[in-house]
Structure 1
Amino acid sequence: MGEAATVLRGELRSLVKEQIPPDFLGAFTDDPADLEVAQSFSRLLAERGLLCAAWPEEFGGRGASVWEQTAVREEMWAHHEPRGAQYMGVNWVGPTIMRHGTEEQQRKHLPPIARGEVIWCQGFSEPDAGSDLASLRTSARRDGDGWLVSGQKIWTSYATMAQWCFLLVRTSREERKQQGLTVFLLPMSDPGIEVRPIRAMLGPHHLNEVFFDGVRATEADVLGTVGDGWRVVQEVLAFERVGIARYARCERLLMAAPEVLGDRWETLPAELRGRWTRMLIHSRRARLLAYQVLSLQSSGRVAPADAAVYRIAVTRLDQESAAVLSEIATFAAADDEPDRRFRRAVEDHWKYAHAATVASGSIEMQRILLARSLLASA
């Protein structure tokens, strides 16, 4: 990654140690203080030019390399994402607006993201259009010089706290279902938008239903070209799937296990320690796959199939490492504070690992996407 990324990584670790409580497990727990910790930390990163380090300076970044931004992603996810929901705006909403937005949209939306002042949610999945996203039914119909948006989205993370929604809707019926889709950037404060939380084991704020009842949108709210939303979203998903450095948390927890257990590590079954070693290898394989995709993206190529390869590998890593770590955690002491923190962190990882199967596109759809790519190139 280079010396600059190494120095940055050290700076980030110092900031996390100084600013984040040692038992922090993410912003979206039952304790509202955890969300405020994340929001405050995001503002601190923004003040230091670290929240959107790789963004151009005119958009609020500092023009850092993609590898420095990768170091930020890795350190944040390894430490239970102390940026909270900000990663969504940083990783893919902002870059997509840079690529497809008008100058007015860029001036309006990018500086607040770079300052850590705004939270975005993603209006993609629907009750009958999850993995098959192009089958969505939420629509926008022409009304004078604007549009009226109606329909329902589901599994929408952070919708209860978001100020803006990156929304994919159908604006026309075409021969292919991937055609006639359009992206709108809509304020969540519109009275025609209703959010209903869905309780889940991941905690509050993560999953929601969102209903749109005649929400008025204008041409200024359209991102890109009307009817060309599918191409925009394919780029979005490629950035999103590699933007979360899930392997970094796996590796950090795996490396913490021998340190936490100390002398007890040698009493673990040899078979369990062998599986632990295999998970470390898999975490580093996932890291290299992520770097390959990032290299392609930084050269201007967005490759959904390459992102799918990474997504398959990191999802399997998530789940298999969670199983190994859960077994290791049973050897942790019940009355020791570092052991207790380790067990809680492993439990949190286990929860996310199960959700990873369907988040950002199910693992089955990633395999189909990869297979189609291989057949097309054969």
Structure 2
Amino acid sequence: MEYEMGEGVATLRRELRQLVREHVPPDFLGAFTADPADLEVAQAFCRTLAERGLLCMAWPREFGGRESSPWEQMAVREEMWALHEPRGAQYMGVNWVGPTIMRHGTAEQQARHLPPISRGEVIWCQGFSEPEAGSDLASLRTTARRDGGGWRVTGQKVWTSYATMAQWCFLLARTSKGARRQQGLTVFLVPMSDPAIEVRPIASMIGPHHLNEVFFDELRVTEADVLGTVDEGWSLVQEVLAFERVGIARYARVERLLHEAPTALGDQWEKLPEELRGRWARMLVHARRARLLAYRVVALQASGRIRPDDSAAYRIAVTRLDQESAEVLMDIVAEASLPDEAGRRFRRAVADHRRYSVSATVASGSVEMQRILMARALLAAS
């Protein structure tokens, strides 16, 4: 299974790698640490990408893009995730907040929100999951009730990544009760600076900024804050999740770490148990499978089709890869002494990958829910 990406993709990858070498410290392990300097590295790097037209390549020119092919945008996505995502949280705005606003937003919303995203100046968070509505998102309880010419939003969100640093929230709330839970939901675009919003960080092993509670206490929103049509937000959410799940190219990081292992271990590589090296080779095959599933979704999106079941298949493959590869890599570094700086850096990168992999089969929709999506699609097609 091969996909034609065009002649410019290889050149683009070389340019991106050179920019990372020039602007990102070699020991950078992501923006979401306790050190504010890491976030500033990511924000500055986003501005560098934006100045070169590399942040939102596939966007239309009128919205700050270059109208590049989806494959070029995929190349950016892979190169960034392979190197601990030096764009920080910008992938959320680039991959799905921006495109959703393009497709469903008013002219005023597009003018307000798209230029800052394309310049790498704004961070978004996602107000979806709740204490009793995670994988079963349609059962959410955050409500927006009519109040004059707008609404008052009251409720709680949880697991909200980047809420402590975000300027805007893509918020899903219930605006009416329908015959089905998926009916009567509406998307609002709300500023996180509003005093009616309170963010409480949740301590976790994956570090600050990733897990937060967000409380909405009579938050005032208006018609101008509604994205799409009132009560029809579920269709937007399905589109968003399809883009989000394929937008996280963690297989690229897995492939890089797996390929680095023999070099990092040097002469010790051949002394590893044969069974362990066999598991390492199997992970390379699984990484390739996840990559091809991602390419399938990109090809469908490029043709104007968005199928949640294809995104679900990719999501299952890449999250299982995350966890299985983390176990293999941890076993590899446990077998070796890595005394030099390159070895210590590799060990830290593997440990970082392991921390993130723990939540992989839950984040962005659990594996069980992805299987349900696939089953429903197969039954509908039969």
TM score, norm. by length of structure 1: 0.99
For the pair 1:171 / 2:175, whether they are aligned, the reply is: yes
1:8 alignment partner in structure 2: 12
One-letter identity of the residue aligned with 2:301? Q
- Say if 2:264 and 2:338, in contact at 8 Å, map to a contact too: no
Flag as ranges the 4+ runs of structure 1 deviating above 3 A: none
Match of 2:112 in 1: 108
Indicate yes or no: 2:106 matched with 1:124.
no
1:54 maps to 2:53 = no
Aligned residue number for residue 371 of structure 1: 375
**Per-residue deviation, 1:334:** 4.3
- State the AA in 2 paired with 1:175: A
Contact residue 169 and residue 183 of structure 1 kept, 8 A = yes
Match of 1:92 in 2: 96
1:135 and 2:139 correspond: yes
Shift of residue 30 of structure 1? 1.3
* Equivalences, count: 378
What SS class does the counterpart of residue 355 from structure 1 fall into? coil
Contact 1:333–1:340 (Cα < 8 Å) also in 2: no
Gaps of 5+ in 2: none
Structure 1 position 331, deviation (Å): 3.2
Q: What does residue range 293-308 of structure 1 map to in structure 2 within 5 Å?
A: 293-308=297-312
Pairwise CA distance, 1:106? 0.5
What is the root-mean-square deviation of aligned Cα atoms in Å? 0.7
Match of 1:321 among 325, 329, 338: 325
Task: State the 1:35 CA deviation.
Answer: 0.5
Q: Is the 8 A contact 2:265 2:338 kept in 1?
A: no
1-side partners of 2:301 and 2:332: how far apart? Answer: 37
Check whether the contact 1:194–1:211 (CA below 8 A) recurs between aligned residues: yes
Helix, strand or coil: the match of 2:358? helix
CA distance in 2, matches of 1:30, 1:217: 33
Identity rate of aligned residues, in percent? 76
**Would you say the 8 A contact 2:151–2:220 is kept in 1?**
yes
| Distance (Å, rounded) in 2 between the aligned partners of 1:13 and 1:335 | 26
**TM-score normalized by the length of structure 2:** 0.98
Contact 2:142 2:153 in 1 (8 A): yes
AA aligned opposite 1:225: T
Matched to 1:335, the amino acid is P
**Do the aligned residues in 2 keep the contact of 1:170 with 1:181 (CA within 8 Å)?**
yes
Structure 2 residue 81 is the aligned partner of structure 1 residue 77: yes
Pairing 1:209–2:232 present: no
- 5 Å-filtered alignment, 1:212-251, equals 212-251=216-255
Residue 162 of structure 1 deviates from its aligned partner by 0.5
Distance 2:274 2:7 in 1: 38
Q: How does 1:340-351 map to 2 (within 5 A)?
A: 340-351=344-355
Q: Structure 2 counterpart of 1:125, which letter?
A: S
Deviation at 1:225, TM superposition (A): 0.2
Contact (CA 8 Å) 1:332, 1:340: kept in 2 or not?
A: no
User: CA–CA distance in 1 between the matches of 2:380 and 2:249?
Assistant: 29
Q: Which of residues 263, 266, 273 is equivalent to 1:269?
A: 273
Which of 8, 20, 23 is the aligned partner of 1:19? 23
Tell me the residue number matched to 2:316. Answer: 312
Q: Give the gaps of 5 or more residues in structure 1.
A: none
Counterpart residue number, 2:200 = 196
Whether contact under 8 Å (1:332, 1:339) holds in the other structure is no
In the TM superposition, what whole-angstrom CA distance separates every residue of 1:77-123 from its partner, at most 9, and x where no partner exists?
00000000111100100000011101110010000000000000000
Aligned to 1:209, what secondary structure does the other structure show? Answer: strand
| Alignment correspondent of 1:260 | 264
Q: Structure 1 residue 372: deviation in Å? A: 1.1
